Amino acid sequence: MNQPTPSPVPAFSVIPGAQVHEVLNGKEVEVTQIVEAAYRLHGTGRTVNPDSYFLTFPHRPSSRIIALPASLQGEDAVHGIKWISSFPENVALGIPRASAVLILNDARTGYPFACLESSVISAARTAASAALAADELSRQRGGRPTRVGFFGTGLIARFIHSYLAGNGFLFDELGIHDLSAEHAEAFRGYLARTEGGEITVHGTAEELVRSSDLIVFATTAAQPHVTDPEWFTHNPLVLHISLRDLSPEIVLASHNVTDDIEHCMKANTSLHLTEQQVGNRAFVTGTLYDVLTRQVDCPPDRPVVFSPFGLGVLDLAVANHIYNQVSMDHSLHTVADFFTELKRYG
């Protein structure tokens, strides 16, 4: 008897946050390696990563929802899109600022085959990118820093600390600065449960910057608020994750590394504002791929600022890894008959 021909349309699955967390928890090194591999694919032209698309609202200008479409080539090719919202007012409601989903599309048919909760994926890939940059740039500068400062104390700051620690960074001194004293103390409590070094909550931004050799900016700032290059004369390594904290004067006094130069020169990031001021991009030293492949150097004669705009291909790589792991565990939540119109003429 003839067997029915399998449908080329993949089954559609939903992967909730609990499963995402289960796959990623404690896997900082593995996730960092996945992110590095995605950067290397991107650097060699084996990705498609269009501009991010911003949905903004005239009645609440601080909020936005962003679409990040992307495609990865290679043995495990996949397409997809992340849809992530940023509503800073959520913090006052006691819920996270960001929420997100990610859709994976089959590389052969284009059919979507999975929807994943993606706020944790987004935080993990951001933190892995930061940890990767900190590791590679520290190697160029003679060793890892032992004094770290966190400017902003939300979910992203927590994930970055987790990924730095998971990748072997050890700190003797940890500094904290946040506009909310309550949030700063809560973050101090988190660090006290996970770190053995001295922890200080700094009353001013200047104190934090001057006392740190590795500075993590993870704020919701919409425009530059740190403007004095003199604060950075000790030449720290700066993970400028929130992208809009530093004035053009600080950018111009630094070695600047980003994930993708074209992507970072938009939406009034600090690098974009600097380009508008000077009329060129010569102040950008190179990309993280250039650092990984030893095409650029960032010696310790100036501050080094890593400003990653955030590439959708990173989310895609991490999400596809999660899908593969959950599938291997035979624990996918499949939605039966998600696609019903599969005959061209009914």
User: Kind and range of the H or E element at 344?
Assistant: none
Quote the CA–CA distance of 171 and 211 in Å, as a whole number.
Answer: 13
What CATH class is the domain 129-307?
alpha beta
- With tokens 């004293």, the residue in question is 181
Q: Would the pTM count as exceeding 0.95?
A: no
Give the C-alpha separation, 321 to 74, whole Å: 14
Q: Measure Cα distances from 15 to 21, 210, 235, 320 in Å.
A: 10, 43, 43, 11
pLDDT, residue 74, reads 83
- Identity of the amino acid at 314: L
Domain ranges in the chain are 12-121+312-335, 129-307
Q: Determine the pLDDT at residue 47.
A: 97
Amino acid at 279: G
List residues bridging with 200 in a β-sheet: 175
Beta bridge partners of 334: 13
pLDDT of residue 1: 46
Burial 260-269 (b: 16+ CB within 10 A, else e): bbebbbeeeb
Pairing of strands 214-217, 198-201: unpaired
Q: What is the pLDDT of residue 5?
A: 56
What pLDDT is attached to residue 91?
Answer: 84
The C-alpha atoms of residue 343 and residue 308 are separated, in whole angstroms, by 44
- Residues 305, 176: Cα–Cα separation, whole Å: 19
Nearest to 218 by CA among 268, 291, 159: 159
Topology of domain 12-121+312-335, per CATH? ornithine cyclodeaminase, domain 1 (3.30.1780)
Mean pLDDT per 10-residue segment, the chain (346 residues): 65 96 97 97 96 93 94 93 93 88 96 96 97 96 94 95 97 96 96 94 98 96 96 98 97 97 93 98 97 94 96 97 96 90 73
